[in-house]
Structure 1
Amino acid sequence: MARLLALATGGALLTGLLQATAAPAAQAAAPSGSRAVAVSLDVLTPRIPAKGSTITVSGRLTNNGKSAVTDAHVGLRVRSDGRLETRSALKNAASRTGYSYAQDGDEVKGYTTDVEDLPVGGKSTFSISVPASALDFTDAGVYQLGVALEGSTSSDSTEHVVGINRTFLPWYGEDDATGTKHTKISYLWPLIDTSHIAPRGDTDSQRSPIFLDDELAAELAPGGRLRTMVDLARNLQVTWVVDPDLLATVEFMTKGYRVAGPGGDVTKTTAGTGTDLAKQWLKDLRLAVAGDQVIALPFGDTDLASVAHQGQKVPGTTGYLKTGAALGLSTVETILGDTPTADVAWPVDGAIDPSIVSVARTGGAKRIIARSDTFHESEGLDYTPNAARPIGKGTTAVVSDATLSTTFIGAMSDPQDADLAVQSYIAQTLMITMEAPERQRSVVVAPQRMPTAAQARAMAEAVHETSAAAWATPVYFDEAASAHADSRANRSVPSSKAYPAKLRKQESTVQDFTQISETQKHLNTFVVILTRQDRVTVPFGNAVLRSMSTSWRGDLAGAAAYRNAIGFYLTDLIESVRIIDKTALTLSGRSGTIPITVKNELSQPVNVVLKLTSGANIRLEIKDADQPITIEGGHTRTLKFQTKASANGTVNVVAALYTVDNQMYGRSTAFDVHINKVTDLVMLVIGAGLLLLVLAGVRIYRQRKKLAAAGGGDDGEDGGDSDGDPDGDDPEQPGDPAADTGQETWEPSPAGEKVDG
């Protein structure tokens, strides 16, 4: 009890100390000074101001500090040192928090807007406008615009900055275009999704696919991610990057489809809800991509890095690359009605190394979309080079700009996030042009694979604004990829050691690819027996490609479950063609038949070979032990094997199915045959026959030995036999074999002596 009291007292003291130290820490954590009020910039118009325009900024204010803010107003600030000179300076300015006179400059006089007092935790909105002429922009370039809240607090009654945020304004007039070459920008617009089709097909005659969920219907509905992406890019010049599996899945939806029950239960399916949505989406997509370049990824969007780093260790894995590329091309061509580009590889995040480049080539890729944070440029290169650069063996690395490509990876659900991202993107494109105005550059933007609807809206606005900008021109991927490579740009593929560890942790393992390989081996054996192999090889091949998809990154448990489902389904199909188990049989007589029944639960005919093997051929001989058989779908067939017994006892017999190329199929079935009606007289006759054969052999041996001793033999001189008979006809001797009467006919045992099962 004393110990318990001591522990309780100590625990209470420790809790009190922790609370006492936590309280000041929590108070100290409250922002103060120029960070006390959060300034959110939700709307900036126009995004690209011109001479004579008026700039308006609207947003929200939230007092996160410890004191109320009074006598406040919102004003604009411009740096005294003018435009930003480099892309890194722009990124640094965007990352700073808090006010600094050296970085933010003076307030633009005459253009402020008053704000009501903000209590602690209080919120308010604002809108402020200023003519572009008041900002005193002179040279073309990117300028920092600060939006600051000034007011008084209980701790500082003087007017001071209590909150600030920054954005960027591009300034580019008609006069600035003289002698300046536009930057060509190719924006990739990805239509990619996760796998929705289960490995196990429906039980109908066509083996229609079963959907794992009905989530794709929501994506295709108004406001859904994929619906939004098609609507947004309809009037934009972008290069569509499409996963053919997505198109094939939506195409299945247009014909009506079934969705698995809870937990993926394919035995309790319900009708899908997205048939009409799928039809409309495909129709609109075909209109949207008309005239645009479309890049077809490998079917299922194969994870090249996983294949390169792990899959190559398993024989046969790289063979899926060509299969996926060919299937991807034909799928997009069939559904969209035009020939897409199919020689482009897109590794995750554009991260590459020599092994990734190698497997991309194996898959038929001649151009690989990389990213500039993989191809680090030398410090001496003070401008953004062309995206295209040769890396050997006829392969071109098309290096997307990392800053532009990652601009919209945030949630974008907050209006400020989208507003600042769009403005930053526009500013970066102008900065690229102004780095080297006299150089024609072609850059590529490769955003995240599956942007949200909010991210897509921000992306579309940025593409729209820059497409109309005086310093940029939108182009398709092929044009950017074929631009002349800059001699100063880095062309060295990074080593495997430089590959990001974060991405490597997300890859499939060698064991995962081994599992896929084993499944493929069993599939190859299985389809040999089918009369309509394509009805199995096509859906299974697609499922294997889906199991290697990039979309499984971040969901390794889901990937494992999907691979397991493929194996379980194949096992069920293999076991659908099987021998019906037999109990022990009794052979009632010297000869009889053994019936073996084979069942085919598949929906198509199969061709197999049924083999019966005796554990003791001397005791039980089986005639025509290998019998080919064709079984219609959903039927059973029974074959009878003729047998001949030579001794009483029990014989173990094994029935097994084989493919036509003599590979064992499925599980064999063993059973015993009891022989108990071979009489002693029969055994005596058999023994006498064997004895006569032996005596005949001895007689022949003695005759030949006698002739050899007499110096005779068949020398061809007297034309007679060795015994002196001139006609050459020996008199028949006792023990000679009887004349051939033909092969013995094996008939089934008469009634009363047939096999008793």
Structure 2
Amino acid sequence: MTLLTGVPLLVGTLQVTHAPEARAASHPVNVAINAMSPVAPGKDDTVTVSGTLTNDTKSAITDAHVGLHRGAALNDRSSIQAVTKRTGYQPGADGKEIGDHTEKIDRLDPGTSRTFTLNVPVKDLGLSSDGVYPLGVTLSGHGPSASYDQVLGIDRTLLPWQGSAPAKKTQLTYLWPLISTTHLTAETGADAQQTPVFRNDGLASEIAPGGRLQKMVELGKNLPVTFVVDPDLLATVEAMTKPYHVHDPDGPVGKNQAVAKQWLNDLQNAVKGHEVVALPFGDPDLASLAHHGKSVPSSLGHLGPATELASKAVDTILGVKPRTDFTWPVDGAIDSSIVDVATSAGAHNVITRSDSLRDNDLPYTPTAARPIGGGNTAIVTDAQLSRAFEGDMSKSGNASLAIQDFLAEAQMIGLENPEQQRSIVVAPQRMPSATQAQAMAGALRNLEQAGWVQPTKLGDAAKAKPDPAANRQIPGRSSYPDVLRQQELPTDAFRQIEDTQSALDDFKVVLAHPERVVTPFGNAIMREMSTSWRGDSQGATAFRASVRDYLDGLTKKVRLIPKSEATLSGRSATIPVTVQNNLLQGVQGLTLRLTSSQPNRLDVGKSQEIKVDGGHSQSFKFETTANANGLAWVTAQLYTADGTPYGEPMKFPVNVTEITATVMLVIAGGVLLLVLAGVRIYLQRKRAAAEDTGDEENGEDNGGATAEGEGDDSGNPGGDSPEQPSDPTPDTGSEKSGPSGSGEKVDR
């Protein structure tokens, strides 16, 4: 999109120097001005113009020469744009050739190119008054269809001329943006240091020597600019200074710590003495928020924390206190809803652009600051100056013309109303290339030498006295450019962001150290709203999905271990349920609750508070009571402190085999029989003991026991052996073959 919007400014250059098939109809030779110096000459200087001639025809060009033409001074800024768009030689507008300062070209063969250089003293240019003059370089000679001299090709540039410094210099503020795309993910390594994980290692090429961001820091250090920083870039580079991992085919280990340390060190030195403006963390897309995010309740709530984080990040990393009272919608395009969102987090200065907040009726360029109500100020940047370097600045001709055009526009602003000092702000493209940055720096250095402007900070520009005639009416939503609207984040994106934030809120409350999760995920959620996703809808979708998937993966590391069928064979039993925590940190504040599908059959007991250390599993026992037999399903579910279900529920069957009344009677009868048997044995032993005592008493009355070795009355030798005192009492009486004696009872 940036390249497309940059085309109008450079269309003249592109038509003249980079479209030979279009030029061939009017001129057979491509004349390209590659450089002019000095850019803004003094009265004693000599202007040097160099470039290239290319013969696009099939015939040789002979007896030709290169000459310089100076047109009349231009009247206003619109005439500057007309010169750069003009094609073909126009004698009245281009002026006559300046004699005695030509370069002879004897022959230019078909399809060949050669360089030229013209040197013309300023005194020979006939500059009568201060102003912007068009300069044309032509090749005149004998073409393939004529034997007389004619203009065979032309290219133009601009010569700003001012003999002395103006009485009131234009105040000019130039923003120097340090912004990149999203590089960090929400992932961190499974270690105590939480090693960050990058989407790729592409940022290294931007901050390495010769890279885009390295050039921005190197050049900006010695320029009168205001640094505009996305704090996310600083946080990302700081993460690179330590061990980090990348999702990269070349390997998972990042190796650019030295490059990151050098860039941060250079930036810390570069910002000294400069004003630093910090955008909200992640550079949120304010237009997308206004047009689609407002319908999702929580979306605007991210701006406040993003602004607070921005101040802390810049102060911590760069050691400077930034300004956070400025917001910068994409390309400075605004409407009333964008202004409302942009100022909702306390930033009361909105950086817009003059092609959005137009001043069509004014014959001059007004001061940038405009009060727009509610204590807010619109900082209206100049569209022509801001877009001057959006083209392909790798081609020297494009860069040269862009620099000349920039200085010409800046000078014309001062000449429009020389008695009224104006404050002008320039906001270039968000992410200039290295060659664009070099062209921008060249323009600012030459402008400083010219002495037409007075460099100022953005904060001073915001406080400049506003022009009462300037437009302050914020355009309606219908005026927002369609090409920008098509690149906005859709409403579904903000719903996904809201869901991820809600899941994060539910997750963090159960963690022993929530900051280990809240910081990386909170930053990642802010990055999901970044302006850097414009033009990369697929990348934005993939990034949102990756953040949510990783969060879900962490959440599932705390789970209930599945159970098989449990069997209860009594009225009460204990059911264990195991909670597994595969996180590195402990979880707490969770409640484990069991629910029975048939509570009248099975009471599963009370819920329990859960606390499990990191990397551990723990079983929690529930005392259950069975009221009836049969199958019951039990659901185990974890809950957060506010009653929100956590994770997936776990179901398992419980088979209750309760003992019936009949079985209980049988068991009771068996117990009774055992008791009666015990009583019977006891009574038998007692009776037997009594009988033994009676026999002993009868023996004493008959003269005592018989002598050892003697038989008894039964005729058995020796008779029955008497029981020894140590022998146990027999369970039953002595069994004899003969009849029982008088009064004796024997249980058979």
Superposed CA deviations along residues 375-406 of structure 1, whole A, max 9, x for unmatched, are 11132x11111000100000000000000000
Confirm whether residue 568 of structure 1 aligns to residue 558 of structure 2: no
Confirm whether residue 485 of structure 1 aligns to residue 462 of structure 2: no
Confirm whether residue 330 of structure 1 aligns to residue 315 of structure 2: no
Confirm whether residue 36 of structure 1 aligns to residue 28 of structure 2: yes
Q: 2:480 aligns with which of 495, 499, 508?
A: 499
- Cα gap change, 1:622 to 1:133, in 2 (>3 Å): same
In structure 2, the partner of 1:120 is 110
Q: How does 1:85-234 map to 2 (within 5 A)?
A: 85-174=75-164, 177=166, 180-234=167-221
Q: How does 1:457-606 map to 2 (within 5 A)?
A: 457-606=438-587
> How far, CA to CA, are the matches of 1:464 and 1:599 in structure 2?
65
1:452 shift after superposition: 0.2
- Cα gap change, 1:44 to 1:682, in 2 (>3 Å): farther
1:304 shift after superposition: 0.2
Q: 1:657 aligns with which of 638, 661, 668?
A: 638
SS at match of 1:578: strand
Report if aligned partners of 1:199, 1:562 keep a CA contact under 8 Å in 2: no
Q: How does 1:605-616 map to 2 (within 5 A)?
A: 605-607=586-588, 608-616=590-598
Confirm whether residue 72 of structure 1 aligns to residue 64 of structure 2: yes
**Superposed CA RMSD:** 1.6
* Normalised TM-score (structure 1): 0.84
Further displaced range: 233-242 or 58-67: 58-67
1:660 shift after superposition: 2.1
Report if aligned partners of 1:34, 1:161 keep a CA contact under 8 Å in 2: no
1:66 shift after superposition: 4.6
1:588 shift after superposition: 2.8
> How far, CA to CA, are the matches of 1:306 and 1:129 in structure 2?
53
Structure 2 unmatched ranges of 5 or more: 1-18, 667-748
Further displaced range: 586-595 or 384-393: 586-595
> How far, CA to CA, are the matches of 1:547 and 1:66 in structure 2?
56
1:60 shift after superposition: 1.0
SS at match of 1:368: strand
SS at match of 2:154: strand
1:676 shift after superposition: 2.0
> How far, CA to CA, are the matches of 2:517 and 2:466 in structure 1?
47
Report if aligned partners of 1:183, 1:442 keep a CA contact under 8 Å in 2: yes
1:261 shift after superposition: 3.3
SS at match of 1:169: strand
In structure 2, the partner of 1:357 is 339
SS at match of 1:558: helix
SS at match of 1:198: strand
Report if aligned partners of 1:115, 1:126 keep a CA contact under 8 Å in 2: no
> How far, CA to CA, are the matches of 2:386 and 2:255 in structure 1?
35
Superposed CA deviations along residues 487-535 of structure 1, whole A, max 9, x for unmatched, are 1111100111111111000000111111111111111111111111111
1:103 shift after superposition: 1.3
SS at match of 1:85: coil
> How far, CA to CA, are the matches of 1:258 and 1:220 in structure 2?
18
Confirm whether residue 418 of structure 1 aligns to residue 409 of structure 2: no
1:344 shift after superposition: 0.2
SS at match of 1:245: helix
Confirm whether residue 383 of structure 1 aligns to residue 364 of structure 2: yes
SS at match of 1:492: coil
> How far, CA to CA, are the matches of 1:219 and 1:115 in structure 2?
44
1:52 shift after superposition: 1.4
Superposed CA deviations along residues 316-350 of structure 1, whole A, max 9, x for unmatched, are 11111111111111111111111100010100010
* Normalised TM-score (structure 2): 0.85
Report if aligned partners of 2:130, 2:163 keep a CA contact under 8 Å in 1: yes
1:220 shift after superposition: 1.1
Q: How does 1:710-749 map to 2 (within 5 A)?
A: none
Q: 2:242 aligns with which of 243, 255, 267?
A: 255
- Cα gap change, 1:424 to 1:680, in 2 (>3 Å): same
In structure 1, the partner of 2:348 is 366
Report if aligned partners of 1:34, 1:164 keep a CA contact under 8 Å in 2: no
Q: 1:242 aligns with which of 221, 224, 229?
A: 229
Report if aligned partners of 2:627, 2:658 keep a CA contact under 8 Å in 1: no
1:677 shift after superposition: 4.6
Superposed CA deviations along residues 153-204 of structure 1, whole A, max 9, x for unmatched, are 1211211111111111111112x63xx3100100000000001011222222
Report if aligned partners of 1:593, 1:641 keep a CA contact under 8 Å in 2: yes
Superposed CA deviations along residues 395-448 of structure 1, whole A, max 9, x for unmatched, are 000000000000000011111011110111011111111111111111000000
Match of 1:220, as an amino acid? I
Report if aligned partners of 2:200, 2:247 keep a CA contact under 8 Å in 1: yes
SS at match of 2:147: strand
The number of equivalent residue pairs is 647
> How far, CA to CA, are the matches of 2:20 and 2:158 in structure 1?
32
1:116 shift after superposition: 4.5
Matched-pair identity in %: 49
> How far, CA to CA, are the matches of 2:181 and 2:663 in structure 1?
73
Match of 1:193, as an amino acid? S
1:78 shift after superposition: 0.9
Report if aligned partners of 1:30, 1:66 keep a CA contact under 8 Å in 2: no
> How far, CA to CA, are the matches of 2:552 and 2:103 in structure 1?
73
Q: 1:316 aligns with which of 271, 274, 298?
A: 298
Report if aligned partners of 1:345, 1:367 keep a CA contact under 8 Å in 2: yes
In structure 2, the partner of 1:405 is 386
1:33 shift after superposition: 6.1
Report if aligned partners of 1:198, 1:212 keep a CA contact under 8 Å in 2: yes
Confirm whether residue 637 of structure 1 aligns to residue 624 of structure 2: no
1:34 shift after superposition: 4.8
1:622 shift after superposition: 2.2
SS at match of 1:641: strand
> How far, CA to CA, are the matches of 1:678 and 1:640 in structure 2?
23
- Cα gap change, 1:33 to 1:653, in 2 (>3 Å): closer
Report if aligned partners of 1:584, 1:674 keep a CA contact under 8 Å in 2: yes
Confirm whether residue 291 of structure 1 aligns to residue 273 of structure 2: yes
> How far, CA to CA, are the matches of 1:683 and 1:116 in structure 2?
127
Report if aligned partners of 2:57, 2:110 keep a CA contact under 8 Å in 1: yes
